Amino acid sequence: MRQGFLLSVRGLRTRFHTYDGVVTAVDRVSLDVYRGETLGVVGESGCGKSVTALSILRLLRSPPAEIEGIIRFEGTNLLDLSRDEIRRVRGNAISMIFQEPMTSLNPVLTVGEQISEAIKLHQGVTRQEALRRAVEMLEMVQIPAPDARAQEYPHKLSGGMRQRAMIAMALSCHPQLLLADEPTTALDVTIQAQIVDLMQRLKEEFETSIVLITHNLGLIAEMAKRVVVMYTGQVVEEAPVEDLFREPLHPYTRGLLGSIPWIGRKLETGRRQLQEIPGIVPSLLEMPDGCRFHPRCNQAMDICRKEEPPLIEPNDRRKVLCWLWA
Amino acid sequence: MNEAIQTPVNRVQARLADSQLRRNWAKLKRNKAAVFGGVLILIYVFTALLAPVIFPRSPSAPDLDRSLEGPSLKHPLGTDELGRSILGRIIHGSRVSLLIAIGVVSVGLLVGVPLGLVSGYYGGKVDFGIQRVTDTMLAFPGFLLALALVAVLGVGLKNTVISVGISMVPLYIRLVRGCALSVKEQVYVEAAKAVGTRDVAILLRHILPNVMVPITVQTSLGMGTAILFAAGLGFLGLGVQPPTPEWGAMLGSGRAYLFNAPHVATFPGIAIFLAVLGFNLSGDGLRDVLDPRFKL
């Protein structure tokens, strides 16, 4: 393992035992996050992006969830920690922001109380001191009149404000790693831009690494340095962001990129129409044999239908899970 | 400069918070049945608190010369078989029934709410265990369960409170568990876990406050039920023992004279009816105001 990794996930497999059978939501996922880096994780709904993040913090209830593999953070495997030890990591060294700012704050607690909760917990300061720092954090995420806002209940805050408050809460203990699960999806476009700016600025200020989970490729292009593309619980491609956009290797990634509208630019195919990826995501209970993408792939070969593709490394910065490059 | 901006902001917000309360209060006031229930409860509570002032004589001292007299100026509601003023006994009996109601609901809350929270939040084996016990208790009609417990524990005020209280525990467990199940799936609970909040703190700070509305409503309705159950036990002679004035026991002893002195049983019956009605009406009203979606 190379130096400089903050987080290194190897062979992560998360399964859920359901009445219909065992669902493998995350299948042998490996990814690395360097210090101070933003790693983008993209993929469509249900591909295991969020479950990966929840698995890292062990926020899934088990049973039904069952997590295997190695999640090495600062040299320790998070999966080996006791419940108490992992609780001390949460919100302290690793925090998370969620997709739904409207529901991620408790309606019966004031904003200040909720932000100070993490501070009180991990820094062992008094209630007053924690509240004071919470106000500081609110100021840092550019909420006007932070003193007054801290005493308010969440229903008085707009969606953008709540997401700022959530970011304040997540960063209140200056974590080394921030798992951002679709942080801007529920917000309208102008607010999205503000939140992105804010996250960029705070990332530099606190030297936090970010795992940015999204299906918004524009956001990835803006924020991430490297990208991991996920499909049906597997990592199908990993690349630096410029390489990925310039030359996507996996047919799925090409499909994803082809389905984004670009203003004033002809698509590669020369058509002006938007491309789509044919077919639908297969059910996690009934995975196709061979490569999981083959039923939807326009370059599928015989071998794709029979055997699972190996992970190919065309160069030392890229990886792709596809027979085309074998 | 900050101060200058914040002070008016704070004032506006205080007014907004106020207006929320005021709106609820206004809604409650518009609900005539709830207001009537509230008035009944107020009369009941004041009677209980001021009983020695309103009726200073002993409610238990017999006056056999005046037994089974009808309503008169001296005894507005007549006398019972021992010549004791029924009005006086109802007034002093209100203290007993209020005490029982508060005691019963406290037992229900103190045992039922924590078990319900734990059962709903942790799920799994803990939930299974608690729920099977709850199922078993719910299989008995509530009153029968209380009766069986009295048979085990014996009669008296304390045992009445304990047995009626325990018979109400499963209702609270079910109610709180159901609410905890839905609240624990909220993103804010996940977010609290994601910052490392302990389970106990999540239960007390995040889940409990969010289930307070149904608990409040159930508590109000539960007071009525408690009075009724305690009176039922008293009626059967298994509740509070004589000579303590207790409405159910008064009703029970008046039953023997139903044909020649009907007032002996009637007035305690009306007292029970009004007290229970008060709690039920105001409980329904509270439910409609606090959460229109929540129906028991």
Q: pLDDT tens for residues B173-211? A: 999 999 999 998 888 998 898 888 889 999 998 999 888
3-state DSSP assignment of residue A66: strand
Per CB-CB distance under 8 Å, the chain B contacts of A61 are: 123
Query: Which residue of chain A is at minimal alpha-carbon distance from B207?
Result: A106
3-state DSSP assignment of residue B55: coil
A170 interface with B at CB cutoff 8 Å: yes
Q: Characterize A133-161 residue by residue with b for buried, 16 or more Cβ atoms within 10 angstroms of its Cβ, and e for exposed.
A: bbbebbbbbebeebbbbbbbbbeebeebb
Interface test with A, best of B127, B188, B291 (most A CBs within 10 A): B188
Query: How, if at all, do strands A311-312 and A319-321 pair?
Result: antiparallel
Phi-psi region of A4 (alpha: psi -120 to 50; beta: other; left: phi over 0): left
The encoded tokens of residue A167 equal 């970011």
Architecture per CATH, domain B39-290, reads as Orthogonal Bundle (1.10)
Residue spans per domain, chain A: 5-105+157-325
- Smallest Cβ–Cβ distance between B195 and the set A61, A63, A91 belongs to A91
Q: pLDDT tens for residues B85-127? A: 899 999 999 999 999 999 999 999 999 999 999 999 998 899 9
pLDDT of residue A109 exceeding 60, the answer is yes
Q: Quote the CA–CA distance of A187 and A198 in Å, as a whole number.
A: 14
Phi-psi region of B78 (alpha: psi -120 to 50; beta: other; left: phi over 0): left
**B188·A103 Cβ contact <8 A:** yes
pLDDT at B15: 57
Architecture per CATH, domain A5-105+157-325, reads as 3-Layer(aba) Sandwich (3.40)
Query: Which residue of chain B is at minimal alpha-carbon distance from A113?
Result: B205
- Smallest Cβ–Cβ distance between A100 and the set B187, B205, B209 belongs to B187
**B196·A118 Cβ contact <8 A:** yes
- Distances, alpha carbon A155 to alpha carbons B5, B20, B102, B285, in Å: 21, 12, 35, 25
For residue B187, the distance in angstroms to the closest alpha carbon of chain A comes to 5
A 53-72 residues with CB below 8 A of B? 57, 59, 61, 63
Cβ-contact B218, B296 below 8 angstroms: yes
pTM over 0.90: no
Q: pLDDT tens for residues A231-276? A: 988 899 999 999 998 888 888 988 888 887 776 655 555 555 677 7
Q: Measure the CA dihedral B21/B24/B30/B35, to 10°.
A: -80
Query: Which residue of chain B is at minimal alpha-carbon distance from A162?
Result: B188
